[in-house]
Amino acid sequence: MSSRELSEWMAYEAIDGPVGPQRDDLRAGVVAATMANCHRAKGPAFKPQDFMPFYERPRTSPDAALDALRVALNKPKKGSA
């Protein structure tokens, strides 16, 4: 994988969300939450994150994500040289 391709994937993940093991944890969390909610008596519903061991997604501002995508695609900001 080239440096450019890696940068493109990093920008894609910053914009669209996690890929790979983090996404797998989310899928497993959805299944676990569904099963737990089917069998719970009362109380608040479980969320997929309740079953994910280290769920912590860093916040990326839209501007920062857009800047990362521009860098990956080698596109300058509007109004710059």
Q: pTM for the full model?
A: 0.46
pLDDT of residue 31 exceeding 90, the answer is yes
HSE-CB at 36 with a 13 A cutoff on CA atoms is 15
Whether the Cβ atoms of residue 14 and residue 76 lie closer than 8 Å to each other: no
CA distances for 32 relative to 26, 48, 53, 60, angstroms = 10, 7, 12, 28
Average pLDDT of the residues in 34-51: 87
| pLDDT confidence bin for 25, thresholds 50/70/90 | confident
HSE-CB at 1 with a 13 A cutoff on CA atoms is 7
Which secondary structure element, helix H or strand E, spans residue 18, and what is its range?
none
- How is the chain split into domains, by residue range? 1-17+59-81, 27-56
pLDDT of residue 80 exceeding 70, the answer is no
